[in-house]
Amino acid sequence: MIAQKQSLILNRLLEPPEVVSLSWREILSAHMASGKRLAPEDAVILYRDAPLHLLRSAANARRKEINGNEEVTYLIDRNINYTNICTINCQFCSFYRPPGHDETYTQTIDEISQRVKELEQIGGVRILMQGGVNPELGIEYYTNLLSSLRTLHPSIDLDCFSPIEIEGIADVAKITTLEVLQHLKDAGMHGLPGGGAEMLVDDVRMDVSPKKGSPDNWLRVMSEAQSLGLITSATNVFGFGETAEDRVEHMRRIRVLQDESLAKKSSGFTSFIAWPVQLENNTYGKRNRGMNRIELGAGPSEYLRHVAVSRLFFDNIDHIQASWPTMGLSIAQMALLGGADDAGSTMMEENVVSASGTEKIEASEMELQDAIVRAGFRPVRRNSRYEKLSTPTPNTKLEDLAAPPPSQF
């Protein structure tokens, strides 16, 4: 009997200690007090359990530490979707048309140049030009387009394409993605926006975009772009029915790449931009008809939670952008009071997200300025490098408002 008791005691001593998870309150308090990097497992607990008002308050405090308390930046730009032909067939995309479809188009240099002229007339500084994976276009189309736009519109930054488009060009040209990026940069490309990231988790990505390739491909192409000094941003579409762990894993993979890029003295990501998937007019929404409002998509409170967690999680990315095209200006204002420091851009023309059901797809500079002022901040123009530009005085003035802006916690 004594031997049995001694054996039991010894076994208990040899057992690994039980891991006790901290509560959301302990995690948030310790993180804000120390400023230490937020571990992914702790971020998941905050995402799931922390009350939204306290999470947003913490994110707002962190935003003040990183970006100050007075300014919100915005960009005067235009979206140009040069082609809608695509072979990737993402289930949540309502914009693309397969090759041979009656509604396909590919714009000429003259058509795109005219759109850039219209942007120049309102003081714009950047185009965001993206399309689809079009197997009919060789690399010469892209280099001729970029070099022509650079000659005709030297003051406009050309932030173009996405990693999956770069992969498509490489397949047609039979060269590497790094070589494609070098050719495009030499022709005048200024940056590679981070479109097509969606969710950098294998099983989620395989479900919604099985032809888009693994998360590793997206990360590799973005890393190559950064190594060449191209301006890049990181994006995130959520609401596919994924878990909080999946959402934090997406952020973790971006944070790891940012660490690597900064260690190599590469340019890194300028910002993190997230928005909920739009489900109204696409295959993914129809496939899950009847469950959209419950299991898929993401409403305002979930979006604001996502913004807040991203601000606390990304200690190596300076800017968090509020997404007004998908959430509306009023929710974007709330995001500015809960971690975001940038109001995005006027867009001037948008065809991809709007095709999936969102209604507000364009904002004037006056509208963005008004929304920023009413949220309690001073609007400041910027370029895609987040360099501040001369800004016209807003028509809306704080002292003229019928009620003061909301308290910043």
Of 91-100, 326-335, 377-386, the one with minimum mean pLDDT is 91-100
- From 274, 277, 296, select the one nearest 355 (Cα to Cα): 277
First to last CA, the chain: 63
Amino acid found at 29 = S
Residue 294's pLDDT is 45
The answer to whether residue 213 scores a pLDDT higher than 90 is no
Average pLDDT over the chain reads: 88
Q: What is the pLDDT of residues 82-117, one digit of tens each?
A: 988 888 777 667 767 787 788 889 899 999 999 999
**How many angstroms from the chain centroid is the CA of residue 52?**
21
Task: Give the mean pLDDT of 265-291.
Answer: 74
- Give residue 13's pLDDT: 52
Would you call 88 helix, strand, or coil by DSSP? coil
pLDDT at 318 over 50: yes
Question: Residue 319 in 3-state DSSP?
Answer: strand
Comparing CA positions, the residue from 258, 254, 272, 255 lying closest to residue 344 is 272
Q: How far is CA 60 from CA 168, 323, 334, 348, in A?
A: 40, 17, 10, 29
pLDDT at 17 over 80: no
CA distance 373 to 355: 30
* Band of pLDDT at residue 141, cut at 50, 70 and 90: very high
Within 8 A by CB and 6+ apart from 272, the residues are 233, 234, 235, 236, 251, 254, 310, 314, 317, 319, 320, 321
Res. 292 pLDDT band, cuts 50 70 90: very low
Tens-place pLDDT, residues 188-202: 999 999 998 999 999
pLDDT of residue 247: 98
Measured over the CA atoms of residue 113, residue 114, residue 118 and residue 121, the dihedral's sign is: positive
Letter string b/e over residues 350-381, b meaning 16 or more CB atoms within 10 A of that residue's CB: bebbbbbebeebebebebbbbbbbbbbbebbb
Tokens standing for residue 189: 């490309």
**The tokens of 328 are what?**
């509306």
The predicted model gives 349-369 an average pLDDT of 65
Question: What is the pLDDT averaged over residues 312-323?
Answer: 97
The answer as to CATH 1.10.3720.10 being correct for domain 30-400 is: no
Which residues partner with 80 through β-bridges? 129
The Cα–Cα gap between 196 and 161 comes to 10
88 or 51, higher pLDDT: 51
pLDDT in tens, 116-133: 999 999 999 999 999 888
C-beta pairs of 254-257 under 8 Å, 24+ apart in sequence: 254/197, 254/200, 254/314, 254/317, 255/313, 255/314, 255/315, 255/316, 255/317, 257/219, 257/222, 257/223
For residue 300, is pLDDT > 60? yes
pLDDT more than 90, % of the chain? 69
